[in-house]
Amino acid sequence: MTPGEPIRRTADDEKADLEQAVKHVMTEMYREWPNDAGFDGLKEEKGPIEIKVHGSIPSWAAGSLYRTGPGIFEINDTSQGKYTISHWFDGLAHTHRFDIIASGDEHATVMYSSRRQSEALMQQIQQSGRHAVYTFGQRNDPCMGLFSKFMAAFYAAIPKPGRPSSENVCVTVQVSPPGFGTGTKEDKPNGKSPEPGQNLGHRSGYPASVWLATDTSSYRQIDPMTLEPIGFATQATLHPDLKGPLSCAHGQRDPMTGDMFNFNQNFGKDAVYRIFRVSAATGKTDILAVIQRAGLSPSYIHSFYLSPSFAIICIPSSHIAWNGLKIAWERSVLDAIKPFDENDKCKWFVIDRLHGRGVVAEFETPAGFFFHTVNSFEETDEQDEKDGTVSLFCDVIQYATTDVLRALYYDTITQKNGATQKFWDSEQRVHDTNATLVRHKVRVPVNVAGGTPGSKAQIPPQLKPETVVSIAGPHCGELPTINPAFSTKRHRYCYGLANRGLSTLVDTIAKTDMDTGEALWWNTPAGHTPGEAIFVGRPGAVDEDDGVLLSVVLDGEAATSYLLCLDARTMKELGKAEVGFAIGLGFHGAHAQA
């Protein structure tokens, strides 16, 4: 397999490329994936094993690339027969590591290992024939009566001994996050697991600690070398007030201090959002703001923003019914989300993270949904200097509605029983689920007093945002990444997984130039599905795109996977390391420098 030259598309091609993608979706229905490639019968390779490199991966990219995401989605031998997991987000957790090892000839060798993270949950499903606690989108059993549904909701709400081992935590990888010095030890038959939060040391260049996160307030610690689950914690471990069940998987890190920022979401008459910071220097957690307003809804939120001066939370139009309590009734976050309403605008809150002023500004944008923020930064122009403001920019991959959440059921992705055609039943739905890279700009007053961080009645200025960049897919894509050296700074390039209508999921990696609107696509071989592209910068580099992209790619025809290394400047393939078997299509990862 030798891909040709990358495909360059200008801003003038954007409309035509979107129309072509819509045409592909509406007229070229997809065949089934061979052998459910990448989803069933996934191999656990505790290794590590050496995998063959074709071409070359530069030695300066040496380190450990951790990847996590869903693995097994069918369990055959349960007490109720075969149990099939409905939604991609609920596949049983499987973590992978690629060790990129520098060698004398300036080219790296690669070792691979992996570990399942939800064996206790799988055992529970085998015994009962169903998932005992909450899921993201598991379809309900149509035979479950009203009484059974009530009891299931009641049962799921009761804390149970050993529950940490049954949590399915598999969305993001957090390398050495601050604050988790204590927690709950994972249940292990031999009783020899390290204590949670324990610094295991830099063994052979591995990080001190690795934790997995999801969109709840739960975290799982894994051994950086063996990938064994060894510890569990919740945000209440960090601060007793962080007792709500939901958070976002993409907690932000200050690139200068290493401090961690996130929010905790609790339910009640009105939703409560607590934005907090964990100091990397002291491990102490501070509540920066408490946001609780009449009519403020709980929502499913996957990420938020950090700029040099602010933490910014956007509450999208993915509101959870019954003030959040419908999750317990449905046992599914997705089924608890209200039908999309264009009147439910996105609500934004800007929190001072430097001077303790709490919420200093609010604004609204049209109703919509997003999974992933990209970056946030600040600049000051002549008008800002005149008005006493700072221009705040927030970049996001956004959608017109919440339909994209239902596009990710396994039967839709894998084309089972015509589910793909049934879902993509209109051009409007295709447009509504097309990703758009948007840059919002808002001028934030510098000297606003704000309110006490613990106050529930902060009424800051209502600002008027503007959209200064809007680039439609497939000129942009999902699971966006940037050069991490440009986090909280103005950046030009964004790397994402784009869908040109040639796949039921994504079919290329796009380099998007936010200054020109130009897109540069990796010339993907037919039937290959890439994963999130993680940027590793060349040591001493000055240019923003001087580095490589690392992506785990599934070859759907051969049912095998490989680690791809692209030149981030040219989007040309430098090398790939072939695993020899399929790795489940995952979500996110992290590169820990050797």
Annotated binding site for Fe cation: 250, 302, 372, 588
Cβ pair 358, 302 in contact under 8 A: no
CA distances from 229 to 131, 178, 212 (A): 20, 18, 10
Residue 129 Ramachandran class (φ > 0 left, ψ -120 to 50 alpha, else beta):
left
Q: Long-range contacts for 376-381 (Cβ within 8 Å, ≥24 apart)?
A: 376/305, 376/306, 376/307, 376/310, 376/312, 376/488, 377/307, 377/308, 377/488, 377/489, 377/490, 377/491, 378/307, 378/308, 378/309, 378/310, 379/490
Per the annotation, where are the binding residues?
A: 250, 302, 372, 588
User: To 5 degrees, how large is the angle CA 163–CA 88–CA 414?
Assistant: 145
- DSSP-assigned letter for residue 339: P
**Phi and psi at residue 95, to the nearest 5°:** -110, 140
Measured CA to CA in angstroms, residue 231 lies from 33, 184, 236, 245 at distances of: 36, 6, 15, 18
What φ, ψ does residue 206 adopt, rounded to 5°? -80, 155
Question: 210 Cβ partners below 8 Å, 6+ apart?
Answer: 66, 173, 174, 175, 176, 221, 222, 223, 224, 592
Q: How far apart are CA 77 and CA 68, in angstroms?
A: 25
Contact criterion met (CB below 8 Å) for 196 and 222:
no
Tokens of 438: 């948007």
Strands (E), 386-541: 389-399, 436-445, 466-472, 478-481, 493-498, 508-513, 519-521, 528-530, 534-537
Nearest alpha carbon to residue 260 among 306, 321, 317: 306
Centroid of chain to Cα 206 = 23
**Is residue 556 a contact partner of residue 414, using CB atoms and an 8 Å limit?**
no
Contacts of 577 (CB under 8 A, 6+ apart): 51, 52, 53, 54, 57, 98, 110, 112, 562, 563, 565
For 519, phi then psi, to 5°, come to -125, 140
